[in-house]
Amino acid sequence: MRPAEFEDEQIIEAAKRLLSAGRRVTGFALRKEIGGGNPTRLVRVWEDYRQSQEVVESEPVQDLPVEVEEALSEMTSTFLEQVRTLALNLNNRAVKTAERRVADVMKSAKEQQQSAEAELIDATTAFDEMEEQLRSLQESLEATRKELQSTNDDRKELSNKLVKFEKDLAIAEQKLNKEQEKNSDLKDEVAGLKKSNESLESDKSDLRKQRDGWATLVETRDAEVSTLSQKLSEAQGLLRELEAEKKAITAQSEERKKERDEARSAQKSAETKVTQLETQLEASQRRNDELKAEIREPETPGKDSQAQERSSDSRKKGGNS
């Protein structure tokens, strides 16, 4: 039996009603809410709508400002170039690693979700088929019960007719005996009564055979009713097993959702590390600006050695960071 098709807007509104009522949005809950439809398609439409409402912004890799680029060009220090290259490499590697991990987790979760959806479709199809078979068995059982009732009524009617014929036969035999005791001139009437008696005997035999046939038919119908009742019990047991499988598949879908949440948390952690690296890069740039300012200051004869010491100390601090 093919589930009824519904518009996406109807499915989304039904899901919102379930959430407003404090209920979980599942395929079977949506199917019950709107009165039909494929549970897998219903829950997929809701998930697509929910994901479309989530805004995920991926920050692009920003180039260094123009002023910093000019300052770095003037500074021929190998240390500054290494810091910049290291920062960019770390930034790119962190972003790529996070994106690759998220892509792997999402791919695995999607494959598992597709597998669960396929199992759910098979279970739903089997469930619908069992419902159809159950309805067919119930209709057959009801028709057999009606036929059995009709057969019992016919048997009672034939039994009443047989009793009536037996009474008529007894009355005819009594009349025949009385007429035989009367005048011999009534032979013609006696012959007619004999013929009537023979006809009644034949009718009686036919009625008895018909009654025996109805009794056999009733026994056959009783056996069919017993067989149908047994099939109905088996179908109900199989139906309960299918419902248990549906619950297990629904639980697996919840676990897949938890894995997707963990993947998103890992991506956020990677973005935090990138932000920390950018902060360290800005600190290095500020120290570079200080070095540049010190180099451009007019040097006095008495302060030449002190400026060199401060420059050496600044480079050491920059290397330690």
Three-state SS string across 245-258, please?
HHHHHHHHHHHHHH
pLDDT of residue 57: 44
- H-helix segments, 25-77: 27-34, 39-53, 66-74
Per-residue pLDDT tens digits for 70-110: 666 676 566 656 766 877 888 888 788 878 888 888 887 78
Q: Which residue segment(s) compose the domain that 150 sits in?
A: 56-299+311-320
Tally the domains of the chain: 1
32 close to 116: Cβ distance less than 8 angstroms: no
27 close to 43: Cβ distance less than 8 angstroms: yes
In a domain, 46, yes or no: no
Pick the closest to residue 270 from 110, 64, 105, 83 (CA basis).
Answer: 105
* Distance from C-alpha of 132 to C-alpha of 35, rounded to nearest angstrom: 17
* Distance from C-alpha of 126 to C-alpha of 145, rounded to nearest angstrom: 28
In a domain, 197, yes or no: yes
Q: What is the mean pLDDT of the chain?
A: 76
In a domain, 28, yes or no: no
259 close to 109: Cβ distance less than 8 angstroms: yes
Tokens of 304: 């030449």
Tokens of 269: 């952690």
Q: Is 261 or 10 the better-scoring residue by pLDDT?
A: 10
Highest-confidence segment of 71-80, 139-148, 210-219, 223-232: 139-148
Q: What is the CATH number of the domain that holds 222?
A: 1.10.287.2610
Residue 206: how many other CB atoms lie within 10 Å: 12
In the chain, % of residues over pLDDT 90: 7
* Distance from C-alpha of 43 to C-alpha of 30, rounded to nearest angstrom: 7
Span 11-23, mean pLDDT?
Answer: 93
In a domain, 305, yes or no: no
In a domain, 237, yes or no: yes
Which contacts qualify for 174-180: CB closer than 8 Å, 24 or more apart? none
Lowest-pLDDT choice from 85-99, 189-203, 215-229: 215-229
308 sits in which H/E element: helix 304-320
Per-residue pLDDT tens digits for 273-306: 778 877 887 887 787 788 778 777 654 444 454 5
pLDDT of residue 115: 61
* Distance from C-alpha of 31 to C-alpha of 120, rounded to nearest angstrom: 14
97 close to 270: Cβ distance less than 8 angstroms: yes
Lowest-pLDDT choice from 76-85, 188-197, 230-239: 76-85
Q: Is 77 or 21 the better-scoring residue by pLDDT?
A: 21
Pick the closest to residue 236 from 319, 149, 96, 131 (CA basis).
Answer: 131
In a domain, 15, yes or no: no
220 close to 160: Cβ distance less than 8 angstroms: no
In a domain, 224, yes or no: yes
* Distance from C-alpha of 19 to C-alpha of 4, rounded to nearest angstrom: 23
Pick the closest to residue 281 from 63, 87, 82, 76 (CA basis).
Answer: 87
The secondary structure of 104-117 as a DSSP string is HHHHHHHHHHHHHH
pLDDT of residue 303: 47
What is the end-to-end Cα distance of the chain in Å, rounded?
Answer: 70
In a domain, 1, yes or no: no
Angle formed by the axes of helices 187-296 and 304-320, to 10°?
Answer: 170
93 sits in which H/E element: helix 78-181
Burial label, 234 (beta-carbon count in 10 A; 0-12, 13-18, 19+): exposed
